[in-house]
Amino acid sequence: MSKLLKGSVVSHLVRLTLPSIGGMLAIMVFNLTDTWFVSRLGTDELAAMGFTFAVVMIVGALAMGFSSGAASIISRALGARNKALAARTVSDGIFLTIAGTAVVSIAGYLSIDPLFTLLGAEGRVLELTREYMQLWFIGAVAAIMPPVSDGCLRAAGDVVRPLLVMCTVAVLNVVLDPILIFGWGPFPAMGMRGAALATIIARIIAMLASLSFLHFRHGLIDWSRPRLRDTLHSWKEIIRLGIPAALTQALNPVAQGFYIRLAAGVGGVQAVAAMATGTRIEAFLLLVAMAYGIAIVPFVGQNYGAEAHHRVEEARHISIRFAFLYAGITVLLLLPMARVASGWFSSDPTVVQLSTTYLLVSVLGMVGGLVSMWMSQLLNVIGRPRPVMAINLVRVFAFIIPLSLLGSRFFGFAGLVAGLALGNLLSGTHAYSTTRKQLLQPLPEAGETNTK
């Protein structure tokens, strides 16, 4: 519990970041595996998988909320050496995840046809989507639990075991997908149902493994029966602190959908393809940034739970400097490689040119996007959810959407991307200012309600 409270701040952040990079890669492999194998079935099946993504991402925002809310309380409690509160929060988070997912699963299962018809699925594509989502909703608890339990492990400073769990699950999914989708030996070909079943089985293994680590390795599951009032209060705190993370998770596809629609208006199908190509390359470029964001949570949470406020402030300064360094290195990588990387995804010269434009212009706003992301995580873990919500709502609705719209109107595709970059830069400035002001205020104790 005390390892993060002493020693070099930079060393701790590096140590926490490195395993998380592997975990992020494993998650990417896991997510791409189903899509690749399903694409072998045909275009209708691939389209059906595409329709499932939007709903799975929204339900995934629920997991992100539960995970972030619980991790905030757990990390601060461990820093304050209050293991009882940490264990109680882990248990309450687990049961909240089960209850919340059960509600979503039942509602989703009963509304599959109207929901996906509203999204545009019809005919055979709707039937295939139904095949996948019926099984997925039945096993949704297994799909949602691993991010929550892994988040609790990371809050305790354990980033190695979540990596082992995700790598194992990614390998399992690679093995099970072809067996269950196409049929092999005694297993019949199940098509879309096979893809869903492979995901559920792999996630069940992940759930059991991470919960075992929490209980047997860290002793962080409290099996005692709490009073209903205490449980409801704990759930309220987890939800209150988790809302900003869930909102951010939900806002990202909203913003992305908006500027992809703008791209269609200014450049047609080729511009949309270029945006899809550029954002996929960008996801790989941000891999280390996402891992660093994970590292911030246990370090900051435990240190300010221990009232080591100077170390929290040092982590903030390091994060700002790292954002500039990270963006600078990315620019240097993209200058010679943007066109080459774009060519890996498309042979259409127009798509390659537009994708290159996207990468080289959008990277100019990367530092702002990184500052917004990392400062949001820092504020959330210290129990300041309202400023986090303000940062993300302002980023999308006050900066990115208006500026990308204006840019597209006057300068076409390049203006759209420039507006996106400028919006990120402004949002980073806003996040920096907000975080600095919040850290000048007294920090809440672990588990204390604070809605400032």
| pTM of this structure | 0.84
Q: Using one digit for the tens of pLDDT, what is the confidence trace for 252-271?
A: 777 777 777 788 788 887 88
- 452 pLDDT tier (thresholds 50, 70, 90): very low
Q: Using one digit for the tens of pLDDT, what is the confidence trace for 99-115?
A: 988 998 999 999 999 98
Between CA 256 and CA 232 the distance in angstroms is: 35
Res 441 pLDDT > 70: no
- Average pLDDT in the 225-243 region? 87
Coil, helix or strand at residue 218: coil
Question: Can you give the pLDDT at residue 2?
Answer: 64
Largest distance between two CA atoms of the chain: 65
Contact 413, 263 (CB under 8 A): yes
Coil, helix or strand at residue 55: helix
Please state the φ and ψ torsions of residue 184, each to the nearest 5 degrees: -160, 130
Res 34 pLDDT > 90: no
Contact 273, 356 (CB under 8 A): no
Contact 429, 368 (CB under 8 A): yes
Q: Using one digit for the tens of pLDDT, what is the confidence trace for 122-141?
A: 888 889 989 999 999 999 99
Q: Which residues contact 130 (CB under 8 A, 6 or more apart)?
A: 112, 113, 116
Q: What percent of the chain has pLDDT over 70?
A: 97
Coil, helix or strand at residue 452: coil
Q: Which of 298, 306, 315, 109 is nearest to 220 (CA)?
A: 298
Question: Can you give the pLDDT at residue 186?
Answer: 84
Give the range among 9-23, 321-335, 435-449 with minimum mean pLDDT.
435-449
Contact 358, 412 (CB under 8 A): no
Which residue is it, tokens 């406020």? Answer: 309
Q: Using one digit for the tens of pLDDT, what is the confidence trace for 283-333?
A: 889 999 999 999 999 999 999 888 888 999 999 999 999 999 999 999 999
Res 213 pLDDT > 90: yes
- Compute the radius of gyration of the chain from its Cα atoms: 22
